[in-house]
Structure 1
Amino acid sequence: MNNKEWKPHKLDELGSVGRGKSRHRPRNAAHLYGGPYPFFQTGDIKAAGFHLTEFTQTYSEDGLAQSKLWEPGTLCITIAANIAENAILGVKGCFPDSVVGFIPDPKKADVRFVKYYLDTLKLQMQSISRGTTQDNLSVDKLLSFDFNTPTLKTQQRIADILATYDELIENSQRRIKILESMARGLYREWFVHFRFPGHEGHPRVASALGEIPEGWSVVKFGDLYNTGSGGTPSRARPEYFMEGSIAWVKSQELLDGFVLSTEERITERAILESSAKVFPANTVLVALYGATIGKLAILSQAAATNQACCAVLSKLNSYGREFAYLTLLVNREKIIGMRLGAAQQNISQVLLRNFECLKPQDELVHRFSKVTAPFFDGILTLQRQIENIRRTRDLLLPRLLSGQIEVEAT
């Protein structure tokens, strides 16, 4: 392949570019939502992998009337809040004006190639988007970037190579979802619907939470678990961060899975001289406030956290990570509904400890943990595989997209 084949193009020279639509005011009007049309928001795009299929909101017919339904294969690019995140629509869907849609000209561009190229520009786009109040990447700024592109066949060949890695990642992610569903389903079967092994021999008795199996009790979450939070070492003290060896978890890194690595690390001195503290591996974390409020994570290694993360530590041997994590997951909306604070709407440690929950018999919880621990271990193994695959792909990506590695168009 001759590098002279590579020529700079603006994004709108490779296809059509348009902003999403969400014109209705107020935007939270109830009649706009709850229908059959997926409504993808910036957070959904940030959380997506290669393809965008998962969503947290839907539009009704009224919602669709003031928006637009985009076709699968559209590249979605965030320009506000989460800057330059992107994913390719896997289903028909709508999105707001904080998202730009790119539809490639089939004679000029492969949407996968454009997506990968955009990944290499993400840091630059985020850098020029920083504002005094809210980060924002205007469409004009987006269209100012050059996309250095080879022939369409070479684009397709490069995209095929990189997409192989993303297919492996998506396959592992599907397996994770299956394991998560199995663990969550078993929890509901045993501790919500009370169809646990031997349930036939347990008559129901009245309680503050309705009828429960005999031998169970209603307790506060704090009777089963201690809670704690960390802190943020002073940014004015570079020795707290430079060459740090201790993983430091922030609330935005809690994404309902294991925390394998962190954006930042802190030093031993930071632990000694600040409110940050180290929690052991397998500690369950809850985001107390912020964009990820209520989200959970499990530490894969000992790590410190900031003050927006609440650590959940077992008081009783039987009540480990599995029961803690799934109790919080299944009751998340209820817990968030109890939140306090008019400004930030935060969950507090006190609220969490006072949350009423069921305490089954210790032997049953121990049995549950033994059954579900392999599910959690399997999720951790798959997450590590994904991290390794992603690392390999990211090493290849800039070299392929700069023409350093030559490929033969087929």
Structure 2
Amino acid sequence: MATWPVKRMDELCEITSSKRIFAADYVSEGVPFYRGREITEKYKGNLDVSTELFITEEKFREIDRKFGAPRQGDLLLTSVGTLGSVYVVKPSDRFYFKDGNLTWFRNFKGLNSQFLYYWIGSPQGKAELKKCTIGSSQSAFTIVLLKGIEIELPPPAVQQRIADILSAYDELIENSQRRIKTLESMVRALYREWFVHFRFPGHESIPRITSSLGEIPQGWEVRKLGNLAEEMRRNVRKGKLEEEQPYVGLEHIPRRSLTLDAWEETNELGSNKLEFKKGEILFGKIRPYFHKVSIAPFDGLCSADTIVIRARQLEYYAIVVSCVSSDEFVAHATATSNGSKMPRANWHVLEEYPVVIPTVEVARQFSAVIEPSIRQMQALVFQTINLRRTRDLLLPRLLSGQINVDPSA
């Protein structure tokens, strides 16, 4: 096992924060303004982040000119609340960020920022960060303590080699995520094309008739969602389970993605849960505007704050999936939810939602296109999980020198 010199972090880079931006500086569009939440989303691999804050182009240029802005290779670390999410700035990035929420590592001297990124996620890095934590009600890192972090630093060529090996896995993971995103976009686009604009195969020869939702193809009808789908309430009482089972909390369901890519294993329940089956739809009913709607890739358990939805007939499965995950349906769930601080959607209200139902033949044609895409998305998720698992097994062995990657050896 290699032995490398120990260095203090403040010997290797500048550790600072941003200049304060006030609420009056926020605008509805412009240069994105990130907080810890957006960096955590990037750390988790989200290709798009749900930023709601922006500053003007003029304000950004002024800050950049006077104090600097994040540059390619700089590293940001979440330092309040959710700690330890880390992101290396890419060439295409252009944003500013909130002071205090994020710590800025820049001007590196003998330290590869991509190597530091992986080191922070390693057992050694996590142990060092733990020493920098203050606060009881809300944990935080301080810049003073972060400057004192000690890191075993291999030669630059070894740092680069380790970063290259681990980033190769991340590139494969990102490619899979891009393919998933493309497939999901296709599903949404096809649903709108077939069932909103009624441009399905053979639509030119089908006359239109008048319905409660306007003109629809002859042979189609408007029905309630409840005629096509039902809520499945299989209650599981709290306590010990006979064996470990996958558990999906609301925190695991991604925003605006059909593809569930996170869960945990549990053998004990602290509160009552619901059982779901593979292929059923998990709809987060708390704050439905978060748009947490995903397809279950296995049998398991979920939070009681989830609506588990099943298509009543197989031929309508793809239509149900597309409908309840659409922006229009989520907007309806939001508008009809109850409660101010913690609004909740109600299935008994949602099942009244009007849906345009095609002929059985068109429904089967739609399923023949959509269902293979759903299976491919789920296969890509499991492929991604395997890649992450392999990367995470390699990480400590590479960083400890147990696996020798020194090009000069």
Q: CA RMSD in A?
A: 3.2
Partner of 1:45: helix, strand, or coil?
Answer: helix
| Cα 1:259–1:176 shift into 2, 3 Å | closer
Say whether the 8 Å CA contact 1:129–1:137 is kept in structure 2.
yes
Shift of 1:391: 0.7
Q: Does 1:164 align with 2:163?
A: no
Q: Is the 8 A contact 1:260 1:300 kept in 2?
A: no
2:382 alignment counterpart? 384
For 1:140 and 1:206, how far apart are their aligned partners in 2?
70
The 1:326/1:99 distance shift into structure 2, 3 A limit, reads farther
Kindly indicate whether the alpha-carbon contact (under 8 Å) linking 1:72 and 1:92 is maintained by their aligned counterparts in 2. Answer: no
After TM superposition, give the deviation of residue 306 of structure 1 in Å: 1.1
2:392 matched to which residue of 1? 394
**Residue 79 (structure 1) shift:** 2.1
Pick the aligned partner of 1:56 from 50, 54, 59.
50
Q: CA deviation at 1:367?
A: 1.3
CA-CA distance at 1:130 after TM superposition: 8.7
Q: Does 1:70 align with 2:70?
A: yes
Asked if the contact 1:104/1:110 (under 8 Å) is kept, the reply is no
Q: Percent identity?
A: 30
Question: SS in structure 2 opposite 1:281?
Answer: coil
Within 5 Å, which residues of 2 pair with 1:260-299? 262-266=263-267, 275-289=272-286, 293-299=290-296
Contact 1:251–1:292, Cα closer than 8 Å, also in 2? no
Structure-2 separation of matches of 1:232 and 1:83: 33
1:42 aligns with 2:42: no
2 CA distance for matches of 1:144 and 1:323? 56
Does the 8 Å contact 2:33/2:96 carry over to 1? yes
In the alignment, is residue 372 of structure 1 matched against residue 370 of structure 2? yes
Distance in 2, Cα, partners of 1:292 & 1:56:
12
Paired AA for residue 203 in structure 2: H
Distance between the aligned counterparts of 2:144 and 2:243, measured in 1? 39
In 2: Cα distance, 1:259 partner to 1:156 partner: 33
Q: Distance in 1 between matches of 2:161 and 2:289?
A: 38
Matches within 5 A, 1:338-357: 338-357=336-355
Q: Secondary structure of 2:404's match? A: coil
User: CA distance change for structure 1 residues 401 and 290 in 2, over 3 Å: closer, same or farther?
Assistant: farther
Moved segments of 4+, more than 6 Å: none
Matched residue type, 1:163:
S
Tell me: CA distance 1:305–1:21, structure 2 relative to 1, closer, same or farther (3 Å): farther
Shift of the alpha carbon at 1:162? 1.0
Deviation at 1:246, TM superposition (A): 1.6
**Deviations, residues 9-32 of structure 1 (Å, cap 9, x unaligned):** 22x4322233345622268x6xx1
> C-alpha distance in 2, partners of 1:130/1:296?
36
- The residue matched to 2:160 in structure 1 has which SS? helix
Q: Aligned-pair distance for 1:175?
A: 1.9
Matched, 1:84 2:84: yes
Contact 2:284 2:292 survives alignment (8 Å): yes
Secondary structure in 2 aligned to 1:253? coil
Distance 1:2 1:397, change over 3 A: closer
- Paired with 2:141 and 2:243, the residues of 1 have a C-alpha distance of 32
Question: Does the residue aligned with 1:159 lie in a helix, a strand or coil?
Answer: helix
Amino acid at match of 2:29: G
Matched letter for residue 102 of structure 1: F
Task: Output one character per residue of 1:194-222: Cα deviation in whole Å (capped at 9) or x when no partner.
Answer: 11112123333444433333333333322
Residue 401 of structure 1 and its aligned partner are, at CA, apart by: 1.1
Kindly tell me: are residues 146 and 186 of structure 1, through their superposed partners in 2, closer, same or farther at Cα, counting changes over 3 Å?
A: same
| Cα distance in structure 2, aligned partners of 1:290 and 1:318 | 30
Query: Where do residues 180-191 of structure 1 align in structure 2 (5 Å cutoff)?
Result: 180-191=184-195
Tell me the equivalent position of 1:119: 121
Larger mean CA deviation between 158-167 and 331-340 belongs to 331-340
Q: Which residue of 2 aligns with 1:103?
A: 106
SS in 1 for 2:337: coil
Q: 1:187 to 1:104 in 2, by over 3 A?
A: farther
Aligned to 1:33: 28
Listed one character per residue, the Cα deviations across residues 48-98 of structure 1 (whole Å, up to 9, x for unaligned) are 358776232362517945976422333222223432112222312222232
Q: Is the alpha carbon distance of 1:16 and 1:380 closer, same or farther for their aligned partners in structure 2, counting shifts above 3 Å? A: same
After TM superposition, the score normalised by the length of structure 2 is 0.84
Determine if contact 2:280/2:308 at 8 Å carries over to the other structure.
yes
- Greater Cα offset, 74-83 or 204-213: 204-213
1:330 is matched with which residue?
A: 326
Query: Residues 51, 303 of structure 1: CA spacing in aligned structure 2 closer, same or farther, 3 A cutoff?
Result: closer
Q: 1:209 aligns with which of 213, 225, 233?
A: 213
Q: Take 1:232 and 1:128, find their aligned partners in 2: how far apart are those partners?
A: 41
Name the residue aligned to 1:245: 244
Residues 222-254 of structure 1, C-alpha deviations (whole Å, 9 max, x = no match): 2321124577864xx5x35xx842211101111
Please give the alpha-carbon distance, in whole angstroms, between the structure 2 residues aligned to 1:79 and 1:232. Answer: 38
The offset of 1:277, in angstroms, is: 3.4
8 Å Cα contact 1:287/1:294 also seen in 2? yes
How many pairs does the alignment contain? 393
Following superposition, the deviation at residue 281 of structure 1 comes to 0.6
CA offsets per residue over residues 322-367 of structure 1, 9 Å max, x none? Answer: 3233222322344334433111133333343233333233332221
Work out whether residues 70 and 93 of structure 1, in 8 Å CA contact, stay in contact via their aligned partners in 2: yes
Alpha-carbon shift at residue 381 of structure 1 (Å): 1.5
- 8 Å contact from structure 1 (residues 113, 156) kept in 2: yes
Alpha-carbon offset, residue 398 of structure 1:
0.8
Say if 2:223 is the partner of 1:195: no
Are the aligned partners of 2:235 and 2:275 in contact in 1 as well (CA < 8 Å)? no
Task: Return the alpha-carbon distance in structure 1 between the equivalents of residues 276 and 294 of structure 2.
Answer: 13
Structure 1: which 5+ runs fail to align?
Answer: none
Q: What residue identity is the alignment partner of 1:210?
A: G
- Contact 2:80-2:141 at 8 Å conserved across structures: yes
Moved more, 126-135 or 83-92: 126-135
Question: Taking structure 1 as the reference length, what is the TM-score of the superposition?
Answer: 0.83
Please tell me the residue identity of whatever aligns with 2:267. I
CA contact (8 A) 1:44 1:54 kept: no
Local SS of the residue matching 2:356:
strand
